[in-house]
Amino acid sequence: MRIEAIHATPGYSGFFFDDQRAIKEGAVQDGFTYDGDPVTEGFDEIRQAGETLIVDVELADGSVHRGDCAAVQYSGAGGRDPLFRAAEYAPVVEGPVAEELVGRDASDFLANADLLEDGEFDGDRLHTAIRYGVSQALLAAAAHDTGTTRTDVLADELGTEPATEPVPVFGQSGDDRYVNTEKMFVKGVPVLPHGLINSVEKIGEDGETLLEYVEWLAERSQALGPDDYDPRFHIDVYGMIGEIFGAPYDREEVVDYFRALEDAAAPYPIQIEGPMDVGDRKGQIQAMVELREGLADAGVGVDIVADEWCNTLEDVRTFVDRGAADVVQIKTPDLGGIHRSGQAVRYCEGTDTRAYLGGTCNETETSARACAHVALATDAAQVLAKPGMGFDEGYMIVENEMRRTVARRNREQRPTNADEVAADD
């Protein structure tokens, strides 16, 4: 079916844009905002309202299919594309992007998405947020045109066998790391709580505050969780372990701290995201490899998760090839087209690196649902609950989308009476 038109409307995303560099450099929180001046190009304030560009793809039958352009909370940091301004990019989507796509067959999802991924517009690649949002709408349009689920469209294009049950969801607590985590325990969330440990105050001068928090996680999870609850703890420290200990990362002091984290989490597994941020991809990989080798030599069973400087599909491949992480976050808005996230998950197959299909709190319910289909199509190790920092809403959106899709696929694949008779014959 022919694509007839593409429309773009600026809107709000599920959280905020934050100037990560300014926060790391000591910006003081004032209520929900921060005092001080931004330091990352494009920011007017250290914290400012998140934006999305709502994309509608209209087909020849009059149906309209949506995707939301979104960028991560910490835009402009860690090698990512600059701050995304929706109103600035609306003319790009309704202009050159629409000119490329209108008239094309909606069922050709991968070809349509790759057209935007590989092309140049006015001499530059499209912002990752545009590629992300438009590809979501193209995926929804392809599923409508073929009469199937978005999971099936992706699985067919990527050559995968979809998951037969929901992928484990990773809940993020935001700064309300106790109350929101208790909510996760009650609901039996399999991977949690993120923790948002992005300052020395939150980790402790010697890391002691984080250790106390992990001890609390292990104890409280069993007090509140369902019977036979077996959580996996995942803490994002935003490079703060590197800030308080420094290199080299395979030395005894650092390894002993990770052993203490393992002991505090026992008997449950723990993984630490972004243990350091050295400022460039090459250095980050070297530091991550050094840490992993130090932990392995000492028999410390804490898994390391790559985030900063692991943004594009090429970055994911490089981190995996170098053995720089036990888990690699595939930060969906940073990869551009949503199919690229699926390709990144697939690249982890057969390696020692597990694929975490992540993203950001600063997305929308539309992009979160689209990512749930990527998770199912590729059977990722875990998928982020998003958007927002309230936990419940994002968990509901992602978990329910996967459950609905699995149930629909099971119904459609269940043999009919005629099929059963033919099989008996």
Residue 265 near residue 301 (C-beta atoms within 8 A): no
How many residues are given for the chain? 425
Residue 271 near residue 295 (C-beta atoms within 8 A): no
Distance separating alpha carbons of residues 413 and 105, to the nearest angstrom: 27
Tell how many helices (H) and how many strands (E) occur in the chain.
18, 13
Residue that is written with structure tokens 């607590």 in the block: 173
Distances from the Cα of 385 to the Cα of 67, 135, 161, angstroms: 18, 20, 23
Distance separating alpha carbons of residues 137 and 143, to the nearest angstrom: 10
Residue 332 near residue 364 (C-beta atoms within 8 A): no
Tell me phi and psi for residue 392, to 5 degrees. -55, -45
**Which DSSP letter does residue 312 get?**
S
Closest CA to 274 of 313, 241, 314: 241
**Which DSSP letter does residue 268 get?**
S
Tell me phi and psi for residue 362, to 5 degrees. -90, 30
Closest CA to 374 of 397, 353, 393, 346: 346
Residue 395 near residue 169 (C-beta atoms within 8 A): yes
Give me the DSSP letters along 394-421. Answer: HHHHHHHHHHHHHHHHHHHHSPPHHHHH
Catalytic residues, which ones?
Answer: 331
Residue 104 near residue 2 (C-beta atoms within 8 A): yes
Closest CA to 362 of 90, 12, 42, 56: 12
